[in-house]
Amino acid sequence: MTRDVFGGHDYLPSVFEQWVSDPLARFQAAEVDDDLVAVLRLHPLPGLVMLLEGMRVAPSWRRQGVARRLLQLAVEEAGRSGFLEVRMVTGSEAPARLAASEGFRLVGKVAPWTAAALEGGELPSLVFPEGVEAAWPILDADPCLKAYGGINPDWSEPLDLDRGLLARLAEAGRLRQGPGARALAISPDSWGDRLDVSFVSGRGGALEELLLQLRYEADTRGLVGVHLLAPRDHPGAASFRRVGYDLADESWRLAVHGLTI
């Protein structure tokens, strides 16, 4: 079911045991003659948001309405359970079209930017919970937040970026800042050989210094570089390129879709 997903590099097998052991999450599955032909996970998030993830359909059962029916049943279950919104993250056109045809709106779309690790520089500073009140007004006024659709496009927790989420990210040690707290970055748990960054804001020299510091951090952690998610039209795109970041794949996009129940 996952063999040909993402060119044979599907993340689902590596997280499946963890997902199954999560007492808060739920699974839906489709069976035909006792054979499993599709799965979908429902993962509750803060703010009465239900994340639908890990939808997989066996190759021989694709394009026969299985994914659509799973999606419809998941939305119905989320509504019965009192959730106010359903979100899903897509990385290819087929699930994006399915989401749109079922009434989901596009919340935000980002592309992968990458840069190689660098040796010897200063690391970014962590933003601690007590620093969130000072950091939030700067971020709230930054056009970068609007470019991201107002969300943190973390595939496992695509939530609206507000004071509450900023505080939780700071508590988890996932919020970094550049010089003078004029640039911010969110780094979720990295799954591969690069430092994953799901959100970055700021402008000019402050942003460029933070982007360089992230490359230094990747080096100190033994990673090959940085994998940054950002819109192609991010206000700081020119700064990305000036400090060594390039679009890794012109065709690939990660999109967050939302449906109000």
Q: 133-171 burial, b if ≥16 CB within 10 A, otherwise e?
A: eebbebbeebebbebbbebbbbbebbbbbbeebbbbbbe
Most confident of 53-67, 87-101, 102-116: 102-116
Residue percentage of the chain with pLDDT more than 90: 73
pLDDT tens for 198-210 read 999 999 999 999 9
Which pLDDT does position 248 carry in this prediction?
84
Domains present along the chain, CATH in parentheses = 5-83 (3.40.630.30), 111-250 (3.40.630)
Q: What is the mean pLDDT of residues 141-156?
A: 95
pLDDT-derived band at 161 (thresholds 50, 70, 90) equals: very high
- How many C-beta neighbours within 10 Å does residue 72 have? 12
Q: What is the mean pLDDT of residues 184-205?
A: 91
Which pLDDT does position 3 carry in this prediction?
80
